[in-house]
């Protein structure tokens, strides 16, 4: 028989397949058939269980936990009475459990919660090269089980405290030391204010993702579980689109959209950054705001399991609104409106970072550029790094890094009591009782000593009170030592004189320490310098009180009282002098 090469190859391929295919004998017939190919798994099953011995393994005698939400990043199901669940199998996603209020998930040595399983069978694509991405995870386990630990009654109470930390923005190991000694040490010295956990609101790093490992170790020194979400400086900048730009982040912290319950609050952590793709110059700025379709689908499915009497605590990186940069950062309409619609039936507290300002916006607050009034309370928690760890060093060797609204670098301490919340801004290395800057605001520049005015300036000088966590419901009262008491007026376009004086010191430091800029005149340097964006500008939480016109020459004292509108009162005394003008 004469056969060409192609025919012979086809015959040999058939024989190989035939000989390697198992045969099934049909009973009683003597006939044989080829066995069907193995079925491809389309579902994931597992157990959520009470890990009584805390070994992470589902052991005999350990009970499953009913009615716990489990997700594949899109679908959300609740466990059955025996703790079992079934979810569709999806590749390149993270499976996770939503921590119930009465339980805690395991944490690793760095206090990072372990509530997830990364399923990337083939790992990150080849174009993720600069940083580690995700290693191939292979096939899904036969049973994907999630351990939980029962909390004692005190830890499961509806009244608790947590920390909200924005923009630590570490770019190298020197700045990691600043973060350790300024923020983490502050938390440790305050015994974390008794907080049950912390949430970090993105921009942990400044694009150098190799620092993640040491960053985790450093934050872990705070000694409390810490939940994370990504910022625009935590991305794989070589990702070609919005699909794998957070692979390295995921390899360290898990899902980018997830939830957990604590007390009567349902915490939702959302990635609201859309990566537009790698650029030839590796620009970190090629992003916009918004939610992926998958994120909004997951959120709708997640909230479908949450009773409307729960408080939703929403964590994101980019603010939904801001007065300092209106209408930015998050674009009015579109994804923002879709989020508002999903949350319409809930009490909500939103927490964000990104803008390096502290700002509290309340329901009904509005700026024309926002496109709509704020539907719920929104706190921009500011930046733990302040102005990117820039400025002259204090006695600890840590840069003076005031934020551009005049508030110090720091974080928020938030008390929850049922659905009610009380926020406090904690300045790094500053007593909690201090909640404001007080200084003199004059239209004259007479180069006088600090905290001094002349009698001729009294009609043109005001006391400027920068309330770091002030809002539209805050009130300020200035009680002078001559018996005069005046109410403060919120002055949204004022610049904080206290912060400006420190900004001048930071500018001098820049001239001395940023050599490539030293070659240029200051006006040009200020326009092109990367820190120019963080120059002290207008603040929406400044109140002014006029100095009484009848104050006599000499030394004086004023007591400033702030009612923050959340049931807290803060006071600070300010001493100043009036020089007589003849």
Cβ atoms of 300 and 293 closer than 8 Å: no
User: What residue has token string 């609740």?
Assistant: 78
Q: Residues of the chain with pLDDT > 70: what percent?
A: 86
How many residues would you count in the chain?
582
pLDDT averages per 10-residue partition of the chain, 582 residues: 40 38 41 51 95 96 98 98 98 98 97 98 97 97 97 85 97 96 98 97 96 98 98 96 96 98 98 93 86 97 97 97 75 88 98 95 91 94 92 88 90 97 97 96 74 88 95 97 94 82 68 52 44 68 93 96 98 96 71
Cβ atoms of 412 and 163 closer than 8 Å: yes
CB atoms within 10 A of CB 390: 21
Q: What is the pLDDT of residue 374?
A: 94
Q: What is the pLDDT of residue 14?
A: 38
285: tokens are 């700025």
Residue in 159, 118, 158, 152 with CA at minimum distance from that of residue 138: 118
Positive or negative CA dihedral for 203, 206, 212, 214? negative
Q: What is the pLDDT of residue 532?
A: 56
How far from 3 is each of 9, 10, 17, 146, CA to CA, in Å?
Answer: 10, 11, 20, 60
How far from 213 is each of 125, 171, 310, 467, 486, CA to CA, in Å?
Answer: 22, 13, 35, 36, 52
Instruction: Please tell me the distance from the alpha carbon of residue 163 to that of residue 157, in angstroms, as a whole number.
Output: 17
- Burial class of residue 19 (count of CB atoms within 10 Å of its CB; 0-12, 13-18, 19+): exposed
SS3 287: strand
Q: What is the pLDDT of residue 3?
A: 39
Q: What is the pLDDT of residue 6?
A: 39
Q: What is the pLDDT of residue 243?
A: 94
What digits encode the pLDDT tens for the residues 290-344? 999 999 999 999 999 999 999 999 999 999 998 877 656 677 778 999 999 999 9
Q: What is the DSSP letter of 308?
A: T
Q: What is the pLDDT of residue 2?
A: 40
pTM value? 0.90
């Amino acid at each position: 028989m004469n056969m060409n090469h192609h025919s012979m190859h086809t015959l040999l391929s058939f024989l190989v397949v035939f000989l390697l295919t198992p045969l099934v004998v049909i009973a009683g017939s003597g006939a044989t058939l080829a066995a069907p190919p193995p079925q491809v798994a389309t579902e994931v099953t597992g157990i959520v269980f009470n890990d009584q011995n805390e070994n992470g393994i589902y052991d005999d005698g350990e009970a499953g936990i009913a009615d716990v939400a489990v997700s594949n990043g899109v679908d959300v199901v609740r466990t059955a009475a025996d703790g079992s669940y079934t979810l569709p199998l999806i590749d390149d996603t993270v499976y996770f459990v939503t921590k119930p209020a009465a339980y805690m998930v395991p944490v690793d040595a760095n206090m990072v919660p372990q509530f997830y399983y990364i399923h990337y069978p083939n790992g990150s694509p080849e174009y993720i090269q600069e940083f580690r991405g995700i290693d191939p995870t292979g096939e899904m386990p036969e049973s994907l089980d999630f351990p939980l630990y029962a909390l004692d009654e005190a830890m499961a109470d509806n009244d608790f405290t947590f920390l909200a930390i924005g923009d630590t923005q570490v770019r190298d190991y020197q700045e990691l030391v600043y973060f350790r000694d300024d923020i983490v040490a502050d938390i440790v010295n305050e015994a974390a204010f008794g907080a049950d956990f912390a949430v970090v609101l993105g921009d942990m790093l400044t694009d150098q993702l190799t620092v993640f490992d040491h960053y985790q170790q450093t934050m872990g020194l705070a000694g409390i579980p810490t939940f994370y979400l990504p910022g625009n400086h935590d991305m794989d900048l070589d990702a070609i689109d919005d699909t794998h730009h957070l692979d390295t982040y995921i390899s360290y912290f898990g899902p980018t959209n997830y939830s957990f319950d604590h007390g009567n609050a349902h915490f939702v952590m959302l990635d609201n950054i859309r990566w537009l793709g790698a650029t030839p110059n590796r620009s970190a700025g090629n992003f916009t705001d918004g939610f992926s379709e998958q994120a909004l689908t997951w959120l709708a499915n997640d909230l479908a399991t949450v009773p409307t009497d729960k408080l939703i605590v929403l964590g994101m990186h980019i603010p939904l609104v801001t007065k300092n940069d209106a209408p930015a950062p998050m674009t009015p309409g579109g994804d923002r409106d879709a989020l508002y619609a999903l949350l319409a039936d809930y009490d909500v507290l939103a927490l964000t970072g990104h803008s390096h300002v502290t700002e509290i916006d309340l329901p009904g607050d509005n700026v024309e550029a926002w496109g709509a009034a704020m539907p719920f309370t929104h706190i921009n928690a500011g930046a733990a790094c302040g102005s990117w760890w820039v400025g002259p060093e204090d006695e600890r060797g840590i840069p003076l890094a005031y934020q551009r609204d005049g508030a110090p670098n720091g974080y928020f301490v938030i008390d929850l009591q049922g659905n009610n919340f009380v926020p406090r801004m904690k300045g790094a290395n500053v007593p909690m009782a201090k909640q404001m800057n007080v200084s003199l605001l004059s239209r004259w520049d007479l180069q006088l000593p600090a905290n001094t005015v002349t009698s001729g300036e009294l009609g043109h000088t005001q006391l400027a009170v920068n309330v770091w966590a002030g809002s539209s419901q805050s009130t300020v009262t200035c009680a002078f030592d001559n018996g005069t008491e005046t109410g403060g007026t919120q002055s949204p376009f004022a610049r904080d004189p206290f912060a400006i004086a420190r900004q001048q010191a930071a500018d001098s430091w820049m001239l001395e320490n940023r050599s490539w800029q030293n070659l240029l005149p200051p006006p040009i340097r200020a326009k092109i310098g990367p820190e120019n964006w963080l120059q002290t500008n207008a603040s929406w939480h400044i109140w002014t009180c006029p100095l009484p016109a009848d104050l006599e020459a000499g030394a004086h004292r004023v007591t400033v009282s702030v009612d923050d509108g959340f049931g807290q009162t803060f006071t600070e005394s300010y001493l100043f002098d009036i020089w007589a003008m003849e």
